[in-house]
Amino acid sequence: MKKVQEVMTKKCVTVTPQDNIYEVAVKMKDNDTGFIPVVEKEDNDKLIGVITDRDLVIRGYAAKHSGSTSVDTVMTTGIRTAHADMSVDQAAELMAEQQIRRLPVTEGDRLIGIVSIGDLAVRNIFADNAGEALSQISEQVH
C-alpha cells in the first residue's frame, strides 16, 4: 500500500504570521495555488496554520481588512495533518472526514509536505468510501 510520502508535494511555499495578506495573495498567484501553510518563522518549519484563498476573501477582504493585515488575522489554525508513513487511504479518509482538499504532512510539528486530492486522484488510489467522499468535496466547491 502506498504511503503519503510517495505522493506528497515536498517543496512547499510557506508564509509566516509576520507576512501580510497582500503578500500571501501574490505568492498564491505566482505559485498557482490557493493554499499556503503558515510556519512559525522563515527558518523554522513549525506548522502553525494554513491560509487559503477562501480565508483571504472571507476573513480578509470581505471583512474589510486591508492588504497590510497580518496573516494571523485570517489564517486557519487547529488543522489536521498527515504523517509521511500514513497510507494514502488513511489520508483520503481524513480529507473526506474533514471535507478538505489539501492536507499538510508533518513530522512532529515540522511541515515536510502537502498531499492534495489531485495527488491522490492522479494515481487512482482512493479507498472506495474515501474516494466517494472526496468526489463530493470536489463537486461542492466550484
Which tens digit of pLDDT belongs to each residue from 97-138? Answer: 888 999 999 999 999 999 998 888 765 555 454 555 556 655
For residues 68, 116, 8, 30, the Cα torsion angle rounded to the nearest 10 degrees is: -40
Average pLDDT, integer, range 53-62: 94
pLDDT bracket for residue 142 (50, 70, 90) = very low
CA distance 107 to 122: 25
